[in-house]
Amino acid sequence: MDVPQPSEAARPAIPVRASDADRERGAAVLRAATADGRLPADELDERLGLVYNAKSKDELASIVEDLQPALWQGGSPPAAKDVGVLAGFARTGRWAVADEYRATAVISSGVIDLRQAQFTAQETTIRVNSWISTVYVVVPEDADVHVAGTGILGGFRQDREGAGYPAAHRINVTGVAVCGSVLVVRHLPPARERRIQRRGRKKN
């Protein structure tokens, strides 16, 4: 007698194994949440232990899923755009970003640093037009990032894919790069980071 085989729908889902990179991204979510006061310091060590012992991505998701970003609560109006024509621009440090932010660079360069930004919504769209320019978009470790820009003799590049678990914030990067580049990264190149820090010290 033939034994009926279980259908595909009836088969239990196989947990997807977490990689070391997944665990490090999970740890980054916890540290970011501790830095902005969403996770008590005494709870950080406990959750870090759970993250580094997690076997699957589902386990990681359950550890970080309650950590949502601190949204903008007022103060300075959120920034909506920056333009650099024959001169670079840098939007860095603590700043409020609108749910849609636009940047244009023409024969110049730009830096849009979102690592300390306060978001006005759970999802943010960054539209970048790069004309014979290089623009860096620096995203937080705990962000879910989607890049969908158009390149014409240029292009959009991302240093690595999304986290693979429920992230603290979704960031969409789009726009047009004409003979230019839009680079979506977690960390600025050291030389560029030092240049921005020196510029900040001169302003102070």
For residue 52 the two structure tokens come to: 């580094």
34 Rama class: left (phi>0) / alpha (psi -120 to 50) / beta = alpha
Residue type, 185: V
Q: Cα–Cα distance between 127 and 138 in angstroms, integer?
A: 14
What is the value of pTM for the model shown? Answer: 0.66
pLDDT (tens digit per residue) in 20-42: 877 877 787 787 777 767 788 88
Instruction: Find where tokens 């310091």 sit.
Output: 41
Out of 5-9, 45-49, 58-62, 149-153, pick the least confident.
5-9
Contacts 24+ apart (CB under 8 A), 85-94: 90/196, 90/199, 92/116, 92/196, 92/200, 93/200, 94/118
pLDDT (tens digit per residue) in 161-203: 655 555 668 899 999 999 999 999 998 888 888 877 776 544 4
168 Rama class: left (phi>0) / alpha (psi -120 to 50) / beta = alpha
